[in-house]
């Protein structure tokens, strides 16, 4: 993200492979620095915790020796995971860090399913709640797959041109603009910023107005949902502006004789693409907000009584499953579902590409992509 606001990094990003390696090196240093700060906060938080059963401190020998050991352990583990992800990216299929996160999410799904079944047997979850949970799960997964694969095609026509004795151009193609260009990044950024006050309050307890702000940013509070949805919409536009530049696309089209039918090349083309991208990004950000907010609504509900002026009236009018939630502990949605679906689709596409390059049939039996022998 700093490549947009920092001219030095912007120049590095345009220098090809050498610049990309330099930015990756800076990213590693930033990761280590961030991990040192976070691990120190975790160590201080652990020193202040007590054993609930006996009232004894959780850390029996607090001090700098424990803090330094915690920082060394967590930082070393982070560096190893970062190195492992880079090795998977270079020598494997797909993005290594995304696959590691994907594996960490998927490994907990069987336990979550068994826990939900045990809750149904014990009566903690009724049959109606379980059926509603399954229906919502199927609908959310279908919506995520549909939106993630959705894109708007902008038709591009290339004029005919003669080079020597050969004629080039005269073809028609399209620019695929994804509905969700930012992927899961807007949700991660918005949730990270909202989690910062609570994390700071946990590591360094303070009172007064800061504690009031922290309480208002808890799950279920109206301020939390308002800022969360607003943050997702903002970062969806912000990240899309970073990774897709309509001016560069219009300039490249003009250089190669391409144009959008009915739109003049150059500035008008860039404005036309930007208008389309703005509209579909809004739809994609609303979709991200709904998927991200749904799990919290199912678990904790919506604290309607905290809404200023009309909170008591809303609490009476809204049904109980909205204000109190469904009380489930196993759900599909949010950042985890977006990561699972996104990584799965990207991995399958890369496996398809590898199979096509080696003249094999596609990974799926009914796929439209076949190898040369197929």
Q: How far is it, in rounded angstroms, from Cα 242 to Cα 5?
A: 10
Q: pTM of the predicted model, to two decimals? A: 0.78
What 8-state DSSP symbol labels residue 34?
Answer: H
Average pLDDT (192-214) is 73
pLDDT value at 371 more than 50: no
Are 180 and 233 in contact by the 8 Å Cβ rule? The answer is no
Are 269 and 132 in contact by the 8 Å Cβ rule? The answer is no
pLDDT value at 363 more than 70: no
Q: What is the pLDDT of residue 374?
A: 43
Q: How confident is the model at residue 286 (pLDDT cuts 50, 70, 90)?
A: very high
Q: How far is it, in rounded angstroms, from Cα 69 to Cα 61?
A: 12
State residue 240 phi and psi, 5-degree precision: -65, -40
Secondary structure of the chain: what % helix, strand, coil (to 5)?
65, 5, 25
Q: How confident is the model at residue 230 (pLDDT cuts 50, 70, 90)?
A: very high
Q: What is the pLDDT of residue 327?
A: 64
* Sign of the Cα pseudo-torsion (65, 66, 71, 72, in order): positive
Are 75 and 289 in contact by the 8 Å Cβ rule? The answer is no
Q: What is the pLDDT of residue 276?
A: 92
Q: What is the pLDDT of residue 360?
A: 56
pLDDT value at 53 more than 70: no
pLDDT value at 372 more than 50: no
Average pLDDT, whole number, for the chain? 80
Q: What is the pLDDT of residue 68?
A: 94
Q: How confident is the model at residue 244 (pLDDT cuts 50, 70, 90)?
A: confident
3-class SS of residue 247: helix
pLDDT value at 373 more than 50: no
Most confident of the ranges 72-76, 88-92, 165-169: 72-76
3-class SS of residue 86: helix
Higher pLDDT, 54 or 103: 103
3-class SS of residue 161: strand
Average pLDDT (238-246) is 86
Q: What is the pLDDT of residue 358?
A: 67
Q: How far is CA 354 from the centre of its chain?
A: 26
Average pLDDT (221-233) is 87
DSSP codes joined into one string, 351-363: HHHHHHHTT---S
pLDDT value at 184 more than 90: no
Q: How far is it, in rounded angstroms, from Cα 334 to Cα 292?
A: 4
- pLDDT tens-digit map of 308-341: 777 777 777 777 767 776 666 655 567 788 888 8
Q: How far is it, in rounded angstroms, from Cα 354 to Cα 94?
A: 11
State residue 33 phi and psi, 5-degree precision: -65, -45
- pLDDT tens-digit map of 337-360: 888 888 888 888 888 777 777 665
Q: What is the pLDDT of residue 169?
A: 61
Report how far apart, in Å, the C-alpha atoms of 92 and of each of 83, 159, 353 are: 13, 40, 13
């Amino acid at each position: 993200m700093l490549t947009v606001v920092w001219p030095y990094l912007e120049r590095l990003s345009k220098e090809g492979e050498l610049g990309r390696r330099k930015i990756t090196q800076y990213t590693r240093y930033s990761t280590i620095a961030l991990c040192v700060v976070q691990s120190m906060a975790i160590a201080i938080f652990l020193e202040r915790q007590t054993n609930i059963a006996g009232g004894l401190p959780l850390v029996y020998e607090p001090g700098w020796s424990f803090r330094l050991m915690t920082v060394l352990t967590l930082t070393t583990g982070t560096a190893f995971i970062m190195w492992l992800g880079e090795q998977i990216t270079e020598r494997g299929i797909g993005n290594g860090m995304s696959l590691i996160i994907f594996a960490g999410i998927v490994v907990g799904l069987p336990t979550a399913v068994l826990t939900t079944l045990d809750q149904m047997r014990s009566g903690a979850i009724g049959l109606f709640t379980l059926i509603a949970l399954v229906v919502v799960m199927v609908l959310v997964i279908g919506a995520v797959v549909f939106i993630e694969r959705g894109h708007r095609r902008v038709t591009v026509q290339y004029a005919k041109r003669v080079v020597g004795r050969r004629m080039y151009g005269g073809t028609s193609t399209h620019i695929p603009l994804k509905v969700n260009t930012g992927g899961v990044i807007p949700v991660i950024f918005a949730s990270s910023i909202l989690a910062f006050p609570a994390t700071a309050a946990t590591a360094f307890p303070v009172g007064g107005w800061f504690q009031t702000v922290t309480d208002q940013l808890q799950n279920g509070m109206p301020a939390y949902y308002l800022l969360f949805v607003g943050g997702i919409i903002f970062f969806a536009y912000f990240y899309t502006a970073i990774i897709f530049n309509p001016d560069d696309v219009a300039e490249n089209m003009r250089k190669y004789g391409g144009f959008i039918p009915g739109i003049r090349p150059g500035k008008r083309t860039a404005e036309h693409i930007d208008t389309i991208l703005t509209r579909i990004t809004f739809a994609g950000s609303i979709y991200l907000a709904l998927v991200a907010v749904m799990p919290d609504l199912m678990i904790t509900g919506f604290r309607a009584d905290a809404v200023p002026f009309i909170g008591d009236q809303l609490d009476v009018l809204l049904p109980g499953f909205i204000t109190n939630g469904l009380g489930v502990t196993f759900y599909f949605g949010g950042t985890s579902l977006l990561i699972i679906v996104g990584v799965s689709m990207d991995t399958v596409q890369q496996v398809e590409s590898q199979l096509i390059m080696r003249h094999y049939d596609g990974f799926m039996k009914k796929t439209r992509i076949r190898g040369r022998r197929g």
